[in-house]
Amino acid sequence: MEEAAIIEHITLFGLSRQEAAIYLCLLKNEELTGYEVAKLTGISRSNVYNGLASLVEHGAAYVMEGTSSKYLAVALPEFCDNRVRYLMKVKERLVADGPKKSLPREGYITIEGYEHICDKIRHMILGAEMRIYFSATGAFLEEWTEEIRELVKAGKKVVLISEDNKELFSKDEELRDGIIQYRVPEHFREPEEEEQRSDQIRLIIDSEYILTGTVTGKSDDACLYSGQKNFVRVFKDAMRNEIALIRIARNE
């Protein structure tokens, strides 16, 4: 990973870009004085000392007392684990005491960007109370193995439709036995239609909320999220009909 990318990722743990650069410098070296950090990073000495004080405050560095104070980086895994643990505690307090907000049932919400779509999928799957119906390519469905495993362990119904006829979880017998899977036969669609549908996803949670759209891994991916009753009912009927056709094709 490039240094700029490492710094960018470190900032996600509550450090400024400059603090992240100083922390990375400490990680690459033994204990350093503020003067040595300034010399290695090219950051002004006053900013370095402010940054080092902030790193100590955030639990990213230790101070080694001596004739002149030296600083030692807290190991990266330890720092990250501590920050995640701290944020989880903060999350619990916020959820308990903060304002409650739920998305409107009757509206249609556009979710843009691959990462944001994946965040929504994860939240929907883990929030399911009874069942999920999830249709996508086999590879995309298997990206959610751990989330699906949580549902199976909780005894919730999981129905997966592999749009590209891929067998799901072929090496995980326990998980495979805990789901209902349907594989769309290759002859169901014309080649151009199959290509068009290869990046489509459809997700229904508890027969109340749906997410549908395209996922290609890019920032311009977009999905529609809704709990509008008529829309959800039409969506469910379409998926139910597709499952019926698959079962007929399989002579079930």
**pLDDT for the residue 189:** 60
Which pTM does this prediction carry?
0.76
**pLDDT for the residue 252:** 60
Widest CA span in the chain: 83
**pLDDT for the residue 120:** 95
Mean pLDDT by 10 residues, the chain (252 residues): 93 96 95 94 96 95 86 96 95 88 76 95 95 94 94 95 86 89 74 61 94 92 92 92 86 67
Domains of the chain with bracketed CATH: 3-95 (1.10.10.10), 108-249 (3.30.870.10)
**pLDDT for the residue 250:** 75
**pLDDT for the residue 28:** 95
